[in-house]
Chains A and B, each alone.
Chain A
Amino acid sequence: MTLPPYADFLGLSVVGEGPARHVTMPGGDHVLGRPGFLHGGAIAGLLEIAGMVALFDALGENRPRVKPVNVTVDFMRGGRLVDTFAKGRVVRLGQRIANVAIDAWQDDPERPIAAARMTLQLGPRGL
């Protein structure tokens, strides 16, 4: 899967296959927020990209046009300047609407630093 320029800007990479598939974001100056911590906007960007990866995987080839309707991000723990991982899960895939949930974590997947819920609108299938 080719990630968009913004994903390159964040330094993201998609790793793994199947249930292990997730997105990784390296820590660094480009994602720095308040001193010593990740910027919430960068975390949100990681969550949204990971959500799109999960959705595109579920939609397969010949996917419809996808338009984000909204996203809600809960910030639960400060993110340190180390690798952050995010994995999306398609909660519901309808004809016109998809609901995706994404968690982001650093040391422990059971202790997420942030979570997001995205609602996306699906266009007609095919070109």
Chain B
Amino acid sequence: MTGQPVGKSFDPATFIDRFRNYGHNGALGIRYVDHGGNWVQLALDYDPRLIGNPETGVLASGPIFSLMDMATSMSIWAKTDIFRPQATLDMRVDYLRPAIPGRTVFGRGECYRVARQIAFVRGQAHDGDPADPVANVAATFMFLDAE
């Protein structure tokens, strides 16, 4: 696949837009919301195809995991201001409460430490009120191009 941005600067909005229809993230329809020096916020709109509990209509956990994986992954590039190939090493998600059916889930990822081979991230997901989160995340990523 051509067109992956490798260069001096990283723009989360452009990155998401370029890969809008690509792969798993494209299938989920994850979209860009906002970003800062070391954080990126994305959104996952409610979709009945992603339901985990048909009786309640609550989203499955997997899509929220994917949302946070993408948001935290991008926060590393935002912090270092460059795209680098990397892969999730491990990720833990604490599910504080079910996301309310019908609501968009917002995922904010933040990178708080970049080591030579490993980056450390955390994040939160909410469905409308950041003070009442749906999930809390801690994860590590490994750079694939490190010596």
* A/B pair count, beta carbons within 8 Å: 119
- Would A75 and B92 be within 8 Å (CB), given that A33-B24, A41-B70, A44-B66 are in contact? no
Taken residue by residue from 46 to 58, chain B's Cβ proximity to chain A (1 for < 8 Å, 0 otherwise) reads as 0011111110000
Query: Do B62 and A10 touch (CB < 8 A)?
Result: yes
Using a CB-CB cutoff of 8 Å, which residues 28-77 of chain A contact chain B? 29-35, 37, 39-42, 44-46, 48-49, 67-75
Mask of B65-95 contacts with A, CB within 8 angstroms, 1/0 = 1110110000000000000010111111111
Q: Does B104 sit at the interface, judged by CB under 8 A? A: no
CB of A24 to closest CB in B, whole Å: 16
Contacts of A35 in B (CB 8 A): 1, 4
- Closest CB-CB distance, B95 to chain A, in whole Å? 5
Cα A37 to Cα B94 with chains together (Å) = 26
Residue with the greatest number of chain A CB neighbours at <10 A, chosen from B25, B54, B65, B93: B65
What is the total number of residues of chain B having a CB less than 8 Å from a CB of chain A?
Answer: 36
Q: Closest approach, in angstroms, between the C-beta of B72 and any C-beta of chain A? A: 11
Q: How far is the CA of A39 from the CA of B69 in the complex (A)?
A: 9
**Do A73 and B24 touch across chains, with their CB atoms under 8 A apart?**
no
B4, B65, B95: the one within 8 Å of A41 (CB): B65
CA distance A7 to B70 in the complex (A): 20
A42 touches B66 (CB 8 A): yes
B22 within 8 A of A: yes
Using CB atoms and an 8 Å cutoff, list the residues of chain B in contact with chain A: 1, 4, 22-25, 27-28, 48-54, 59-63, 65-67, 69-70, 85, 87-95, 98
Q: A41-B25, A67-B95, A71-B61 are in contact. List 13 more A-B contacts (CB 8 A).
A: A4-B52, A5-B54, A6-B62, A6-B63, A9-B49, A10-B62, A30-B27, A31-B23, A40-B69, A40-B88, A45-B63, A45-B66, A72-B92
